[in-house]
Structure 1
Amino acid sequence: MIHPSYSELIKVVNQGAEDDETPVVSSRYSIVLATSKRARQLIAGAEPKVGGTHGKKPLSIAIDELYKGQVKIMPEEEEKGGEE
């Protein structure tokens, strides 16, 4: 079994959202996209933001970073706005 579970990750990511706002993440698909994007950044040479990464695969590190709140998922509108 994967730890943390998808539902635990979704709760952690949405924890900072206000009650009247739409949750940042509403599906497993969003979690998978976010962790895979961060894993690709790690493969490309980005420094891990958590300790104890020796021997771990990039995806495991990305999940750990997300679960510990070291990496934030930005809503799609904000992400696109910064690229232009």
Structure 2
Amino acid sequence: MLHPSYTDLMCVVNKDVEEGETKVVNSRYSIVMATAKRAREIIDGSMPLVDTRGGEKPLSVAIDELNQGKIKVIGEEEE
């Protein structure tokens, strides 16, 4: 099971969105895609933005980064 949960991660990503505005993330799929993309960056040599333990997998690091607000998910129209 994923800790934190998808719901918790979606709350973290959408915390700065004011009521009535379109949310940045509306689905688990968006969370999965964002963390997978960041995990690939870590595999390719990017330095983790959070403290890591030895042997921690890149996906776990990416989830921790997202949960701590170290990375930001942006919508396609903002790219």
Code of the residue aligned with 2:67 in structure 1: it is Y
CA distance in 1, matches of 2:53, 2:16: 26
> Mind listing any 5+ residue stretches in structure 2 that lack a counterpart?
none
| Higher share in helix | 1
Query: Secondary structure at the residue paired with 1:9?
Result: helix
Instruction: Give secondary structure in 2 for the equivalent of 1:49.
Output: coil
Distance 1:62 1:53 in 2: 13
Partner AA of 1:64 in structure 2: D
Instruction: Kindly state the Cα deviation for residue 53 of structure 1 after the two structures are TM-superposed.
Output: 3.7
Structure 1 position 20, deviation (Å):
2.6
- TM-score, normalising length: structure 2: 0.94
Task: Say whether residues 1:17 and 2:13 are aligned partners.
Answer: no
Aligned pairs (5 A) from 1:2-81: 2-79=2-79
* Other structure's SS at 1:37 match: helix
Shift of 1:52: 2.4
CA RMSD across the alignment: 0.9
Q: Deviations over 1:16-57 (max 9, x none)?
A: 112231000000000000000000000000000000242100
Matched residues, percent identical?
A: 58
Q: Distance in 2 between matches of 1:12 and 1:63?
A: 11
- Aligned pair count reads 79
- CA gap of 1:53–1:16, structure 2 versus 1, over 3 A, is farther
Runs of 4 or more, structure 1, over 6 Å off, are none
